[in-house]
């Protein structure tokens, strides 16, 4: 065995994940698979819609309260990074919705109480995964502040009423938009890659957080076209939620939560 082969063997054995672009992880899904997941998610939403809509309303209240706190304490300058960070944390917040979809799948009764009291199969590992995603969000928010300082120095934040004019009326502002969007896109793509299937997997199975995240990355990488399309669908629906003052989260969040469970069921490897 060559040194390269030994290194590959060690990586595979310690992580439990083989080299990417592996047939084991490929599902040969059509690019439009995400629309099928949305359809399945909508059916779960409309089957006893009360608990799902109540869940979505709770997410809306939490989000609105968080935005209010940002403005009240003068942290409105991190509003946009915080909104994009919400997309990274959303899979953790949607655990109760995954549980409803799983209960429907297994023929068990559904209730709002059971959704709130969901206990993931991997318990503390799910908490650890959520903590890692929180750290990723904090890192992104710090990066966003540094990007602003890189282009505008110590110039104070002009407030939400004037920030658009400052960005679009200044070449440095346009440069910051391009750089910030690119770096933010990298954070968002990485967040989606590691959390897309890891959180549902930690609910459904007994495994560790790093293995679940690594499996999620392998599944996304080996089914790249449909996952890029799915990410675009999520982004558009989240943009609609923001455009409606976050009210759209009442319906859109549970819809995406249920759809994510069906995406996981479609691509997840069988239990060994």
- The pLDDT, as a whole number, for residue 103 is 93
CA-closest candidate to residue 205, choices 117, 110, 102: 102
Q: Work out the pLDDT band at 16, boundaries 50, 70, 90.
A: very low
Cα(85)–Cα(88) distance, rounded to whole angstroms? 5
Higher pLDDT, 15 or 98: 98
Cα(96)–Cα(104) distance, rounded to whole angstroms? 13
Q: Work out the pLDDT band at 158, boundaries 50, 70, 90.
A: low
Q: Work out the pLDDT band at 93, boundaries 50, 70, 90.
A: very high
The torsion angles phi and psi of 153, rounded to 5 degrees, stand at 60, -135
Q: Residue 23: is its pLDDT beyond 70?
A: no
Residue carrying the six token digits 């996952």: 227
Q: Report CA dihedral (90, 194, 84, 171) to the nearest 10 degrees.
A: -170
- For the stretch 59-87, pLDDT in tens is 999 999 999 998 888 888 888 888 888 98
- The pLDDT, as a whole number, for residue 272 is 59
Q: What is the mean pLDDT of the chain?
A: 85
- The pLDDT, as a whole number, for residue 5 is 42
Per-residue pLDDT, averaged over 110-125, amounts to: 84
Per-residue pLDDT, averaged over 240-257, amounts to: 96
Whether 54 and 254 have beta carbons less than 8 Å apart is answered as no
Q: In this prediction, what percent of the chain has a pLDDT beyond 70?
A: 88
- The pLDDT, as a whole number, for residue 124 is 82
Highest mean pLDDT among 191-200, 213-222, 254-263: 254-263
- The pLDDT, as a whole number, for residue 234 is 94
Q: Residue 21: is its pLDDT beyond 70?
A: no
Cα(81)–Cα(138) distance, rounded to whole angstroms? 10
- For the stretch 165-211, pLDDT in tens is 777 777 887 888 899 889 988 988 898 899 889 999 998 888 889 99
């Amino acid at each position: 065995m060559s040194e390269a082969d030994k290194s590959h063997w060690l990586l595979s054995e310690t992580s439990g994940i083989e080299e990417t672009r592996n047939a084991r992880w490929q599902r040969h899904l059509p690019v439009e698979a995400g629309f099928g997941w949305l359809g399945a998610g909508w059916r779960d939403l409309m089957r006893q819609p009360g608990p799902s809509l109540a869940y979505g309303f709770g997410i809306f209240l939490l989000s609105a309260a968080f935005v209010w706190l940002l403005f009240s304490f003068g942290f409105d300058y991190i509003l946009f990074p915080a909104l994009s960070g919400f997309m990274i944390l959303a899979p953790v917040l949607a655990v109760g919705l995954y549980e409803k979809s799983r209960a429907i799948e297994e023929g068990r009764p559904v209730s709002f109480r059971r959704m709130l009291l969901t206990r993931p199969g991997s318990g503390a590992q799910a908490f650890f995964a959520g903590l890692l995603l929180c750290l990723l969000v904090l890192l992104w928010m710090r990066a966003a502040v540094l990007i602003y300082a890189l282009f505008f120095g110590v110039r104070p934040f002009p407030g939400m009423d004037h920030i658009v004019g400052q960005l679009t009326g200044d070449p440095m502002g346009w440069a910051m938009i391009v750089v910030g969007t690119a770096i933010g896109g990298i954070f968002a793509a990485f967040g989606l890659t590691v959390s897309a299937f890891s959180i549902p997997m930690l609910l459904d199975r007994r495994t560790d957080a790093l293995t679940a995240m690594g499996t999620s990355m392998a599944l996304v990488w080996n089914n790249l076209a449909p996952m890029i399309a799915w990410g675009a669908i999520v982004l558009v629906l989240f943009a609609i939620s923001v455009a409606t003052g976050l009210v759209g989260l009442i319906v859109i969040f549970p819809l995406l939560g249920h759809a994510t469970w069906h995406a996981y069921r479609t691509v997840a490897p069988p239990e060994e």
